[in-house]
């Protein structure tokens, strides 16, 4: 066996090993210009984001260190959106020229209708294999057919960057304005303060069923916990209410005392310091940074502060998380809600993120891709004949059912002895749960 060394270049990851068949680095996502509402599935309407005929930026791959090559996203053709052919999903409208009716089955009763503008991740078309959103760009990319020598990971599932909007404290203004947030088409993380009366509101079950994430924010939001009892009490509440345990945590007030308490319980802890996360970087998942809108921006209806944060993520091919506690109602903050923002402003920011080609999704969804890609890039390899098998280890408490996207310079990728199908948007989808993949000449 040999271990794979990794080096980081701007907007792309270059993999280098002792030979040129180590996994390659991240490919940059392509530009976008439009979208189409999805078609209904067999049960429950599905709003898909059709890809326009935009050209994508080339992926950067490598054999030896600092080399480049590998095909990127070529000129695009309309993508196939999810859902069986038929009328647009509930509330769906055409907002561009890309995208055609799909043939895949919709998810029964769980998909969301609604108009979208431009492209971006969230509640649009999703892969029937990984359930990752379909990125902007080409939909007619040919499967690589050369001699296989390398695997190249695709950053942020093929999007230009990623943005995760999180909402803390189970506040009343979140409940009051949930329908408006949900209509924007993104998926968000709601960090639940389970000891509050509002934590038992039926809206959270609705949010969960709509595809949003429920994270742990403790039972009592103490700044001075004496142990993990308050944390586990919240986990018990969430697991019972939603039949699924929380995988992410947000430390109340960003208190450092929580870091050691949660390391054996979750796979990510969101803190309160500012910062961006890059593919394969050294950001500590127990100190995941976030943007909290500062005081003085609450009355802003233009969304300029959120747009600026989105621009930073997209231009740098990075991940930005956002933390909001509540919304102004009739121009006023509700009692006990910390630094509320204007709903129009953040709504504009979320919509803007999608038009700029950002992947808008939960902290678990993007975080598992980020950490899963890092785990894959640190894989060990073993060669048998013309086959090279890569094996990786996932972090503790890693959520099941997640995938990353990769490309190759030829050959076939296999998991469990079965060939992985090539997606015409320009990638293979590799199951992280399998913890190994084989690059084969045939």
- pLDDT tens digits for range 47-94: 333 333 333 333 333 333 333 333 333 333 333 333 333 333 333 333
Residue 387's φ and ψ, nearest 5 degrees, are -100, 140
Banded pLDDT at 111 (limits 50, 70, 90): very low
The number of helix segments (H) and strand segments (E) in the chain equals 8, 20
pLDDT, tens digit (0-9, with 9 covering 90-100), for 360-372: 999 999 999 999 9
Q: Which of 228-232, 336-340, 352-356 has the lowest mean pLDDT?
A: 336-340
Q: How crowded is the C-beta side of 175, counted as CA atoms within 13 Å? A: 17
Q: What pLDDT is attached to residue 106?
A: 35
* DSSP 8-class letter at 327: B
Q: What is the dihedral of CA 278, 283, 287, 289, to 10 degrees?
A: -30
Q: Which of 68-72, 269-273, 400-404 has the lowest mean pLDDT?
A: 68-72
Q: Is the pLDDT of residue 240 over 80?
A: yes
User: What residues does each domain of the chain span?
Assistant: 1-159+372-442, 161-356
Classified by CATH at the fold level, domain 161-356 comes out as TIM Barrel (3.20.20)
Whose structure tokens read 């678990």?
364
What is the average pLDDT across 334-357? 94
**pTM of the complete model:** 0.75
Q: Is the pLDDT of residue 177 over 60?
A: yes
Q: Are 288 and 268 in contact (CB under 8 A)?
A: yes
Q: Which among 29, 37, 72, 32 is positioned nearest to 51, based on CA atoms?
A: 32
Whose structure tokens read 């007619």?
140
Distance CA 6, CA 374 (A): 10
What is the average pLDDT across 204-209? 98
Q: Is the pLDDT of residue 378 over 60?
A: yes
pLDDT, tens digit (0-9, with 9 covering 90-100), for 308-334: 999 999 999 999 999 999 999 888 888
Q: What pLDDT is attached to residue 409?
A: 95
Q: What pLDDT is attached to residue 212?
A: 98
Residue 215, C-beta contacts closer than 8 angstroms, at least 6 positions apart: 166, 189, 190, 191, 192, 246, 247, 248, 249, 250, 270, 363, 364
Q: Which of 80-84, 138-142, 343-347, 418-422 has the lowest mean pLDDT?
A: 80-84
By residue count, the chain amounts to 442
Helices 343-355 + 304-316 axis angle, to 10: 20
What does the angle CA 30 – CA 35 – CA 36 come to, to the nearest 5 degrees? Answer: 145
Distance CA 31, CA 103 (A): 25
Residue 89's φ and ψ, nearest 5 degrees, are -60, 165
Banded pLDDT at 23 (limits 50, 70, 90): low
Banded pLDDT at 33 (limits 50, 70, 90): very low
Q: Exposure of 125 by Cβ count < 10 A (0-12 exposed, 13-18 middle, 19+ buried)?
A: buried
What is the average pLDDT across 107-133? 57
């Amino acid at each position: 066996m040999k271990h794979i060394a990794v080096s980081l270049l701007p907007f792309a990851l270059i993999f280098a090993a002792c030979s040129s068949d180590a996994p390659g680095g991240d490919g940059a996502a392509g530009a976008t210009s439009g979208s189409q509402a999805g078609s209904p599935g067999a049960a429950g309407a599905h709003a898909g984001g059709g890809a326009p005929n935009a050209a994508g930026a080339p992926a950067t791959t490598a054999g030896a260190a600092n080399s480049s090559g590998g095909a990127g996203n070529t000129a695009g053709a309309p993508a196939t959106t999810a859902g069986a052919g038929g009328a647009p999903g509930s509330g769906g409208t055409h907002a561009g020229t890309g995208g055609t009716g799909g043939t895949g089955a919709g998810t029964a009763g769980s998909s969301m209708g609604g108009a979208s503008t431009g492209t971006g991740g969230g509640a649009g078309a999703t892969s029937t294999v990984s359930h990752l959103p379909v990125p902007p760009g080409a939909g007619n990319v040919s499967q690589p057919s050369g001699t296989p020598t390398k695997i190249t990971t695709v950053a942020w599932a093929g999007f230009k960057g990623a943005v995760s909007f999180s909402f803390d404290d189970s506040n009343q203004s979140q409940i009051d304005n949930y329908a408006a947030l949900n209509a924007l088409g993104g998926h968000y993380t709601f960090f639940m303060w389970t000891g509050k009366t509002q934590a038992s509101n039926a809206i959270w079950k609705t949010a969960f069923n709509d595809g949003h994430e429920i994270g742990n924010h403790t039972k009592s939001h103490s700044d001075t916990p004496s142990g993990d009892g308050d944390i586990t009490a919240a986990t018990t509440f969430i697991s019972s209410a939603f039949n699924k345990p929380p995988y992410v945590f947000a430390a109340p007030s960003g208190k450092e005392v929580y870091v050691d308490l949660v390391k054996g319980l979750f796979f990510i802890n969101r803190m309160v310091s500012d910062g961006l996360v890059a593919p394969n970087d050294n950001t500590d998942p127990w100190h995941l940074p976030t943007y909290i809108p500062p005081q003085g921006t609450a009355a802003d209806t233009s969304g300029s502060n959120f747009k600026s944060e989105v621009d930073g993520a997209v231009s740098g091919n990075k991940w930005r998380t956002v933390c909001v506690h509540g919304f102004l109602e009739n121009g006023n903050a509700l009692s006990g809600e910390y630094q509320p923002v204007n709903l129009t402003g953040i709504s504009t920011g979320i919509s803007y993120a999608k038009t700029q080609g950002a992947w808008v999704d939960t902290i678990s969804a993007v975080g598992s891709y980020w950490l899963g890609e890092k785990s894959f890039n640190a894989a060990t390899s073993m060669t048998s004949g013309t086959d090279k098998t890569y094996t990786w280890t996932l972090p503790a408490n890693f959520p099941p059912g997640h995938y990353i996207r990769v490309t190759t310079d030829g050959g076939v990728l296999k998991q469990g002895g079965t060939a992985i199908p090539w997606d015409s948007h320009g990638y293979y989808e590799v199951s992280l749960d399998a913890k190994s993949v084989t690059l084969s000449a045939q």
